[in-house]
Amino acid sequence: MRIEWVLLVIACLLEVGRAVGLKYTAGFTRLGSGFVTIVAMVLSVAMLGGAMKSLPVGTCYAVWVGVGAVGTAILGMVLFGEVASAGRLARLGLILAGIIGRKLAIPWPTTTARTPTRDEYDSSH
């Protein structure tokens, strides 16, 4: 697995941690869990940014949001007793299928445009 995808997977896991962590902060009235949630938030976005250096922005964002949504929903069912109806599970499966389809749509290896350096950017404007 390429490093960009590793960064994206880590970003996704941190995003799930961030979302679930928000539940434990009780509106940021609990400082310990609030701090952990903020750290997860910052690291998630940083890892997402690292993945976007060479993966398409649409792919990164779709995977990040989709895995975050599915992971958070599953943990909500497991940790907080949220409803796990067949319809809800089917819809989560559709989101997951979309994420997998988006990943499969990227040619291997990807050779997307890289972010220009400051000098390159300045000389083109």
- Whether 41 shows a pLDDT value over 90: the answer reads yes
CA 38 to chain centre: 15
What does the chain come to in residues? 125
Those residues whose C-beta lies under 8 Å from the C-beta of residue 2, and which sit 6 or more positions away, are 109
Q: State residue 15's pLDDT score.
A: 97
Q: What per-residue confidence (pLDDT) applies to 108?
A: 53
pLDDT score, position 11: 97
- Average pLDDT (59-88) is 95
